Chain A
């Protein structure tokens, strides 16, 4: 018998077995790319998992495997969860995309939710957050706060999501401070405290007094605290342990409302394959408390921008905006479409340097 047949038979048998149990318990699996204690990306996904348990109590059982490499290992972990009777599996890293699609094809009755990808199937949904909305607020604060007019930016990988964040932060920093410049360092990692700290130190040596990061550890904040007189922001998680030091605000990924809604949909039998890209409005992106280091009026402006974005009155990518080479991207009042944003591979006018390729 072929493996797919075997698996389908097993899944069917399980489907029957769990079908009987389904009334009392849904098993929800999570595949994490980092350790749950990373303080950033995976930590927030795990908080979402705990929120499911808190919401549904005895009606759910959640399981997770952490630090799963992207590729065949992820495929095996997902298969194992499906074999063990999971009815819903969240795969929380971009690199799990093809494995998720492969495993989902073998288990048509199991629902899959893949974070930040673009491949869907009848039983695979995708979801991501509009982090760039938070970046706009960050850029506004950074532009106001910098005295050296140099903002350091630690990029992970030059992919659309990260480039979008850089552009959004830069546009809003320039708006309030025409002299501001961005220095960008690529760390080529999502989570490597040593590399992230090195990147922060390099930027500080080059005169940056504001550090923005698109990597997941607290190491850049620790480096900023050590250097003194530097401000930074929490990334993915609030990182409030640095609130007395460099951290003045943060972008928080809040997956809990989405995770609870999707779990409920599976329980109700109303789950369908969808593509979700939510921002501040629905609460998927949160802005951590802005500390007193930020002047009151800047804080008020930042919060006003947050409210405007949440209400849908303001889009962070609103024209007039030019691309780096000076060509027109968005005319006066024009708003960027999601397709362009999802594939963003260019800097906006004013950012120096090129995107590594």
Chain B
């Protein structure tokens, strides 16, 4: 008989092995799915994982990995701090939207003035917007004990309505023939988050994501706040005895996550997306939750996980177009990744034991 037995300590090997096993299991199960759809599984897997990196047109896809991965990493880093402390911000998507709105709002307010100070002000505006939106669930939790999971999630839908209203009203392009959507910030040099080196995919959002990874790493390993975060997550009672103020931690963790999501929104709206439009948000805030867990809530892991997710998006599009795979199959493939990770995660805390059947 097979029996699950709880490990006294989480297995160090499995912590690192689990994501690798999950990726391999996803490839096998995904390959079976693609084969069932009548496609060559090896070609499909190669198209998704290999072609964006090493094919003929990799010079175009590699920079795109940074463009697609940067917002995921930036948001996921912010989320991971809270997740480690057991503070569940599920509403990064909303904070991302509001950050984009406030940041773009600052830029649009200056239009058509040109000046070096405009973009830094927009960055500040984006961070503040995301921070403020995250403060709503944070303050409600600290003051009234509401559940931050529900409040932050619900505020995503409020933010989406706000986005629609802004695209149709206040921020609508006066020269847009009545169509919804703001001016294109790509055509407004002072507000444009352009590529720092043309063709590299590096824009300020990528730089911010890298800084966030380093910042989070230092915070968690070297700073007392990082220690408190880890302590609260791992041993809440001990944390209380150690004098950690839980309310303060909620405010800090949600605030940081909100500000980072807001920054991601601002860099996206002023760079790759260019304009505030009704369908501006494409789910980065939700995908970042997967990225955070795929990366083991560890800053370096998150950076790798963000790039891996970006790879499946870009490779998935190529597979759709070249092989005629349906979008739903690609989404299932991405979903499998999280599913297998959670399944394999069991091995971190439990081990399989062969036991003899007991005689009655």
Contacts and interface: CB of A to CB of B under 8 A. Distances in A.
Interface of A: 1-4, 6-7, 10, 29, 35-36, 63-73, 75-77, 79-81, 83-84, 94-95, 98, 118, 157-160, 188, 342-345, 356-357
Interface residues of B, number: 46
Interface in B314-360: 314, 317-318, 320-322, 324, 326-328
Contact of A63 (B198, B273, B277, B321): B321
Interface string B190-205: 0000010011000000
B64 to A, nearest CB: 6
B64 A76 contact: yes
Given A3-B199, A71-B280, 11 more contacts: A65-B317, A65-B327, A66-B326, A69-B279, A71-B274, A72-B68, A72-B272, A80-B57, A98-B186, A159-B168, A188-B161
B297 to A, nearest CB: 27
A79 B273 CA distance: 15
A76 B317 contact: yes
Nearest to B323: A63
A65 B324 CA distance: 8
A356 to B, nearest CB: 7
B164 interface: yes
In the A-B complex, the 9 residue pairs with the closest CB atoms: A3-B199, A72-B272, A69-B282, A343-B178, A357-B169, A67-B327, A71-B273, A65-B320, A66-B327
B177 A29 contact: no
B275 interface: yes
B54 interface: no
B59 interface: yes
Contacts, number: 117
A159 B164 CA distance: 11
Interface of B: 57, 59-61, 63-64, 67-68, 160-161, 164-165, 168-169, 177-181, 184, 186, 195, 198-199, 268, 272-275, 277-280, 282-283, 313-314, 317-318, 320-322, 324, 326-328
Given A2-B198, A3-B199, A72 B67 contact: yes
Interface centre among A3, A4, A66, A158 (most CB of B within 10 A): A3
B164 to A, nearest CB: 5
B63 A80 contact: no
A2 to B, nearest CB: 5
B274 A157 contact: no
Nearest to B201: A3
Nearest to A2: B198
| Interface core residue of A71, A75, A157, A345 (most chain B CB under 10 Å) | A71
A79 B328 contact: no
Nearest to B170: A357
Contact of B179 (A10, A73, A159): A159
Given A3-B199, A71-B280, A160 B178 contact: yes
B324 A10 contact: no
A345 B178 contact: yes
